[in-house]
Structure 1
Amino acid sequence: MVVDTIALDKQQQQQAGQHCHHFVLVHGLCHGAWCWYKAATLLRAAGHAVSALDMAGCGAHPARLADVRCFEEYSRPLLDFVAALPPGERAVLVAHSHGGYSVALAAERFPEKVAAAVFVTASLPAVGRSMAAATDEFVAEEPDFFLDTKLLEQENPEIPGNPVIFGPRFMAQKLYQLSPAEDLTLGLSLVRPANRFNDDALMRDEKLLTEKGYGSVRRVFVLVEDDLGIPAEFQRHMIAQSPGVEVETMAAGGADHMAMLSQPQELADLLVRIADNKCNE
């Protein structure tokens, strides 16, 4: 499902001397388009088009967890959306957390339609490595990291691995520790079980991401210093594996893993600045 795009018309933008960007927002694991509600509102108020998408089986998407058999199907809402952009339109794809994999796949498939791929403390795959490699490394380093997150039974034998659902303690201590209490309450009521698809053939393909495709797209990583969900040290580790990626930083003092909820104005301003820099090149 898609949260409808809203923007000032182009004539109004031109009169105001502004660029109108189209931001496509992609959520992380167990979440949905709903988690972008603050940042999306601020971007629209600034005159930009915003499309916040639910990946298949997430948020308000109608698919059941067991119906989404592979990572390709999981990412299909984003892939179809980018493919359908009008000729000549290039969107700014913004990934959060696990959403980095779906954005990387879309950038590989449709580089000509992507003005920039922005990774907000997100999984950042590297050209020439499988997309699952970063998750493998992180889980190996922190086997007990996920606290009360639960592994669930897999209903569909076609899907390798077990779905997960984030636990309340994990969300409160690792993801939302600096976010308003009401946003944690919202998150606890709306998260859904999700498959990581870490053993999916597409996620394991070391030749999937190429210099001609994904590597040709402008990539920007937003490093969040106070993130406990993907700690800053591991964020820097991913950045080091992808030479040429630009880095912006949300400094210590307010943003947690859910930066779009804990510091929505700072993040919205940063996204616009990133997009404007592309227009001014």
Structure 2
Amino acid sequence: MHIYVLVNAHWHGAWCWDLTATALRRAGHTILTPDRATVEEIRDLVVAQPEPVILVGHSSSGMQISAVAELAPQHVRTLVYIAAFLLPNGVLPPDVMRDDTESVLRDHLVLDNDQLTVSEPEKVLFEDCSPEVASWASAHLVPEPVIPLGGPEVLLTDQNFGRVPRVYIECLNDRALGITTQRRMHAALPCSQVYSLPSGHSPFLSMPDRLAVCLLDLTSQPRS
């Protein structure tokens, strides 16, 4: 059995993983879902585990899991990016989103008192969820500070980050981070495995069992 650490993206919290975590626990695995944690908090959680973990990040948290792998590579079995930012040093999300003609996210970002929210998240983040799930998830979103609090930038190296196997789970119908952008990122930083789901941006809510199948398949992959 394995340990999965599931990291939420901007606006979300640990609640977003509930359905997928249930499916993974049913298979006998240990599931940890830090709530809106910093890179340092995630690192400390990962280091405290008795074996290397499968570290999963969604959307913006892709940058966090990359940083954790740099800081503690021996404690990470596999990095998993779910429609997530997989970026090399010197590249920021706005750099890749600038050319993302498939995304409607920028049209729904709302800046108010130095906080950023998403208008109509049911159409952007949860578009293929049931109306009940989309409404529930939207009600749980919280504003993000325009300038996030956190530690110093972590530079990725081949010796640390580069030695941890990477896996990408594409979301083919994503309206927040277009599939072309997703594929451009994992082509630039190749992954050992790429899965494709016919989902929007939040497969952990719209198709949690199918996402769990992808995550469970990772346990058959050897650690480098």
Tell me if TM exceeds 0.5: yes
Structure 2 unpaired stretches of 5+: none
Let me know the Cα RMSD of the aligned residues: 2.3
Moved over 3 A (4+): 142-145, 195-203
Q: How far 1:198 moved relative to its partner?
A: 7.6
Provide the rounded CA distance (Å) in 2 between the counterparts of 1:25 and 1:173: 24
2:138 aligned residue = 188
- CA offsets 1:31-70 (integer angstroms, 9 cap, x no match): 01100010000100111100011124xxxxxxxxxxxxxx
Q: Partner of 2:190: helix, strand, or coil? A: coil
Q: Percent identity?
A: 27
Q: Partner of 1:117: helix, strand, or coil? A: strand
AA aligned opposite 1:39: T
1:150 is aligned to 2:100: no
Q: TM-score, normalised by structure 1?
A: 0.73
The total of aligned residue pairs comes to 222
Q: Partner of 1:31: helix, strand, or coil? A: coil
AA aligned opposite 1:82: V
Question: Alpha carbons of 1:149 and 1:84: their partners in 2 closer, same or farther (altered >3 Å)?
Answer: same
Q: How far 1:274 moved relative to its partner?
A: 1.4
Q: How far 1:141 moved relative to its partner?
A: 2.7
Q: How far 1:196 moved relative to its partner?
A: 5.8
- Choose the corresponding residue for 2:4, options 16, 23, 26: 23
Q: How far 1:79 moved relative to its partner?
A: 1.7
Which structure has the highest strand share of the two? 2
1:94 aligned residue = 56
Q: How far 1:262 moved relative to its partner?
A: 0.6
2:167 aligned residue = 220
Question: Alpha carbons of 1:164 and 1:273: their partners in 2 closer, same or farther (altered >3 Å)?
Answer: same
Provide the rounded CA distance (Å) in 2 between the counterparts of 1:272 and 1:266: 10
2:220 aligned residue = 276
1:6 aligned residue = none
Contact preservation (8 Å) 1:55, 1:77: no
1:267 aligned residue = 211
Provide the rounded CA distance (Å) in 2 between the counterparts of 1:111 and 1:196: 29
Q: Partner of 1:80: helix, strand, or coil? A: helix
1:82 aligned residue = 46
Q: How far 1:202 moved relative to its partner?
A: 3.9
Show the 5 A alignment for 1:83-122.
Answer: 83-86=47-50, 89-122=51-84
Higher RCO (CA-CA < 8 Å; seq separation 6+)? 2
2:190 aligned residue = 243
Q: How far 1:278 moved relative to its partner?
A: 2.7
Structure 1 unpaired stretches of 5+: 1-19, 57-73, 155-162
Q: TM-score, normalised by structure 2?
A: 0.90
1:140 aligned residue = 98
Q: Partner of 1:230: helix, strand, or coil? A: coil
Q: How far 1:134 moved relative to its partner?
A: 4.0
Q: Partner of 2:41: helix, strand, or coil? A: helix
